[in-house]
Amino acid sequence: MAVLDRQVLYGQRTPTALTALRTFVDQRAAGAPGVRIVAETEFGETPRDWQEWVRFEAVVNQALRHLPLWGLCTYDSTRVPEEAVAAGLRTHPHLVTVAGRRSNPHYEQPADFLRSLPALAEPLEDTEPLLAADDVTDLAGLRHAVAQRLNTLGGSPDRTEDLHLAIDEMAANAARHGRPPVRVRLWGSADRVVCTISDNGAGMDAPFAGYGPAHGQDLSRGGMGLWLTRQLCDHVDVIDDGTGLTVRLVTSLR
DSSP letter for each residue of 204-228? ---TTTTSS-TTTT-GGG---HHHH
User: Is the pLDDT reported for residue 254 higher than 60?
Assistant: yes
pLDDT digits (tens, 9 = 90+) for 97-146: 888 999 999 999 999 999 999 999 999 999 999 999 999 999 999 999 99
pLDDT digits (tens, 9 = 90+) for 231-253: 999 999 999 988 899 999 999 99
Specify the range with the lowest mean pLDDT, choosing from 27-31, 86-90, 110-114.
27-31
User: Is the pLDDT reported for residue 215 higher than 60?
Assistant: no
* pLDDT the model gives residue 142: 97
Confidence of residue 216 (pLDDT cuts 50, 70, 90): low
User: Is the pLDDT reported for residue 219 higher than 50?
Assistant: no
pLDDT digits (tens, 9 = 90+) for 141-185: 999 999 999 999 999 999 999 999 999 999 999 999 999 999 999
CATH number for domain 123-251, candidates 3.30.565.10, 3.40.109.10, 3.40.50.300, 3.10.350.10? 3.30.565.10
Segments making up each domain of the chain, as ranges: 6-116, 123-251
Longest dimension (CA), the chain: 63
Confidence of residue 1 (pLDDT cuts 50, 70, 90): low
Those residues whose C-beta lies under 8 Å from the C-beta of residue 93, and which sit 6 or more positions away, are 61, 103, 104, 107
Mean pLDDT confidence for 74-83: 89
Confidence of residue 220 (pLDDT cuts 50, 70, 90): very low
Those residues whose C-beta lies under 8 Å from the C-beta of residue 125, and which sit 6 or more positions away, are 185, 187, 194, 196
**C-beta neighbour count of 75 within 10 angstroms:** 16
* pLDDT the model gives residue 200: 95
Mean pLDDT confidence for 188-207: 93
